[in-house]
Chain A
Amino acid sequence: MNFFSFHLMPWPHLPGPRQFLADNEAAWVTLSNAHYDPAQGAVLYERYLSELVRAEELGLDGVVVNEHHQNAYGLMPSPNLMAAALTRETSRVKICVLGNALPLYNPPTRVAEEMAMLDVMSGGRLIAGLVVGGGPEYYSTNVNPTEARARFREAVDLVLEAWTRPGPFAFDGRYYQLPYVNPWPRPLQQPHPPVWIPGLGSPGTITYCAENGFGYMGVAYYAPPESFVRQAAAYRHAVAEAGRRFDPELLGWLTTVYVADTDEQAVEEAAPHLAYFQGTLAAGFVGPGKVWMPPGYIDPPALVQFLGELRAMVEGPRPSDPAAALWRRSPLVGSPDTVRERLLAVVNELGVGTVLSLLQFGSLPADLTARSTALYAQEVVPYVRAHARPEALR
């Protein structure tokens, strides 16, 4: 079992959802960076990096950073800079960059180089996340979204070849043509660092991961749990179809986590910060406002389905019990007993061997983050580790 601390490094100083959406269409692409205060930003980077370092001290297995551009949701346009800092501030945990958005780099051998550096600097602790990049990022970078998937697949091939094939060699693809591929350094892990790919449930992505031996990380934390149930089953099925052995650690699940002494206390303390996370910061790809989903980024039928689910989520009946509502949207909020049983159920029933725990979310302040993280690491993780049998689903 892997328990990772996943950080988005969000900007916590915007108004709550109601006020925010009254004044803004989204927290992505067009929200003015005049809202960003560099002095406060310095304090935040220091704090957020410390929270990841704390995960190692508390016995978790890894830390996760990720790439987002031109938004208040995640302040790591270059996750590799954060990962580089973490190679020096940690000594044991895996460092997962989930990931670098390959189509946004030209040539993507830049990613092969930087990730090889991270792997060497960390003593072989890198997990290489490779991603297509979010819809809003195609607006922010002007890379053509109709090429996103094909460019991504070709770039993955290029990066893996750059890591494993002695250079120099020529690469002659549809999108990338390089006469001399020969990156120094090469990665320490052989043949290459593990590759994880995050997905929102697209069948194509799940099959692609299974066929290539890549980890599939379900990151649609805002979707109801049933959505991930389907994805996990599809991944296990696709692995079997590909004739591979199911390795639970390659099936990951991203979830917000908040632990307090009692369920009531946990819900009360987490609720406003989850609301800020899901209502303010995520505005731009979910919610009632503008959805920065560029044309051609996903197939029209998938887009129509996504928008339908979004509408149902925004307009649908709200459970009157706030705890039930939170369970639907963010299962792991509660007392240690509640969270350990819910998490164990997900692990054993879905075969999840990697839990990507979002221990800080939205505007959750440092003191609450620290207390919840400690409770999670000390009261929940050891219990789940002891009782987890995800491989039983093999």
Chain B
Amino acid sequence: MTVGTGPVRAVLSVGDDRVTVVRGGRGDPVVYLHGVCDIHAAFPGDAWTPFLARLAEHAEVVAPALPGYNASTGTDRLEDVEDYVWHLGDLWAALGLGRVDVVGHSLGGWLAAELALRRPELVRRLALVAPLGLHVPGLAVPPFFGAVAPRGVGGAGEARRLLFADPDGDPAGAALPDVMARDQQLLWFGGLAGAARLGWKAPHFQSRKLAARLGRIGVDTLVVCGDGDVLVPAVMARAWVDGLASARLVAVPGAGHCVALEAPEAVHEVVRFLAAGAGP
């Protein structure tokens, strides 16, 4: 365990792949699986986002980058949810992790749920923050990959409007500025390619099979959603909670899809939830 420190970045070999992992903080390990957008803020400057900084006050945060994000590889080989779950299982082993708390945001929320479904021995408590992955018949959500398509000139306004309740706020501007430096562009496009690998099939980031399987996830689960999230609207958040065996919903006022960036104080709900499961 790293004791009371800021994040340390390393690149691990996991099978044939490399995985960037950032870890730091104090306490039992908590794996944080990031979302479609919050990766830049966490990694390039080697500083935690406010959300993770507060989580790291209560736990040792272990934050791997999903394939395509940061220096993590695997997008040429991993094709579907099945592959990604086994990849995460290998990652757990490489990190020496057993049954741990998992916080998954957005894309990472989807994968955390799929992992809990197939590898319950790896997940203690599950906090899903704006989780993607669920298909609700008849519920239309805006096409993510269309909104994040680049523009010749004029920036990322459409992506900010999709992902943030306040597209003009500081968190949105920091994550998706109109003009990105080359390094940030490479991270963003690399991450999007990784996200597309898993989530391209329309409606983007939705599994048609997950809803019927949700009840098989037995671990205690917290679902945290922004009330301004257009990708995981209230109906979908409710479907998560209704489908899971043991779950409760927290709605975060004034937050869009990127809850962890836009409303980092939501982490306190997560910390309280995880603490309730602590102990032998």
A-side residues, CB < 8 A to B, are 29-30, 139, 142, 144-146, 150, 286-296, 300-301, 303-304, 307, 310-311, 314-315
B153 within 8 A of A: yes
Query: Are B193 and A311 touching (Cβ within 8 A)?
Result: no
- Bound: A221/B145 CA distance, A: 27
B-side residues, CB < 8 A to A, are 68, 75-76, 145-146, 148-154, 182, 185-186, 189-190, 192-193, 195-197, 200-202
> What 7 A-B pairs come out closest when comparing CB atoms?
A296-B193, A295-B192, A300-B189, A288-B153, A295-B196, A288-B152, A295-B193
With A146-B200, A300-B185, A303-B189 known, 11 other A-B pairs at CB within 8 A are A146-B196, A288-B154, A289-B152, A291-B149, A293-B149, A294-B145, A295-B145, A296-B68, A300-B189, A311-B152, A314-B153
Query: Are A293 and B150 touching (Cβ within 8 A)?
Result: yes
Q: Which residue of A lies closest to B186 (CB)?
A: A300
List of A residues within 8 angstroms of B193 by Cβ: 146, 295-296, 300
Q: Which residue of A lies closest to B180 (CB)?
A: A304
Rounded to whole Å, the gap between the CB of A256 and the closest CB of chain B is 20
- Total A-B residue pairs with C-beta atoms closer than 8 Å? 77
Rounded to whole Å, the gap between the CB of A25 and the closest CB of chain B is 8
Query: Are A144 and B200 touching (Cβ within 8 A)?
Result: yes
Output the residue of A144, A287, A292, A310 with the most chain B CB within 10 A: A144
Query: Are B152 and A145 touching (Cβ within 8 A)?
Result: no
- Bound: A303/B182 CA distance, A: 11
Query: Are A139 and B145 touching (Cβ within 8 A)?
Result: yes
Query: Are B145 and A287 touching (Cβ within 8 A)?
Result: no
- Bound: A292/B192 CA distance, A: 14
Output the residue of A290, A296, A314 with the most chain B CB within 10 A: A296
27 A-B pairs within 8 Å (CB atoms) are namely A29-B146, A142-B200, A142-B201, A142-B202, A144-B197, A144-B200, A145-B196, A146-B197, A288-B151, A288-B154, A292-B149, A294-B145, A294-B149, A295-B145, A295-B192, A295-B195, A295-B196, A296-B68, A296-B193, A300-B186, A300-B190, A301-B186, A304-B185, A304-B186, A307-B185, A314-B152, A314-B153
Q: Name the one of B150, B190, B201 contacting A307, with C-beta atoms under 8 angstroms.
A: B150
- Bound: A307/B185 CA distance, A: 10
- Bound: A288/B153 CA distance, A: 5
List of A residues within 8 angstroms of B192 by Cβ: 295-296
List of B residues within 8 angstroms of A310 by Cβ: 152
- Bound: A132/B6 CA distance, A: 45
List of A residues within 8 angstroms of B182 by Cβ: 304
- Bound: A311/B178 CA distance, A: 13
Q: Which residue of A lies closest to B203 (CB)?
A: A142
Q: Which residue of A lies closest to B143 (CB)?
A: A139
List of A residues within 8 angstroms of B148 by Cβ: 295
Rounded to whole Å, the gap between the CB of A1 and the closest CB of chain B is 36
- Bound: A293/B188 CA distance, A: 14
List of A residues within 8 angstroms of B75 by Cβ: 146, 296
Output the residue of B151, B195, B201 with the most chain A CB within 10 A: B151
Q: Which residue of B lies closest to A136 (CB)?
A: B149
Query: Are B150 and A291 touching (Cβ within 8 A)?
Result: yes
Given contacts A144-B200, A145-B200, contact A295 B151 (CB under 8 A): no
Query: Are B149 and A290 touching (Cβ within 8 A)?
Result: yes
Q: Which residue of B lies closest to A144 (CB)?
A: B200
Output the residue of A144, A295, A304 with the most chain B CB within 10 A: A295
List of A residues within 8 angstroms of B154 by Cβ: 288-289
Q: Which residue of A lies closest to B195 (CB)?
A: A295
Query: Are B146 and A304 touching (Cβ within 8 A)?
Result: no
Q: Which residue of A lies closest to B154 (CB)?
A: A288
- Bound: A311/B180 CA distance, A: 13
Query: Are A139 and B153 touching (Cβ within 8 A)?
Result: no
Query: Are B152 and A291 touching (Cβ within 8 A)?
Result: yes
- Bound: A292/B189 CA distance, A: 13
List of B residues within 8 angstroms of A290 by Cβ: 149-151
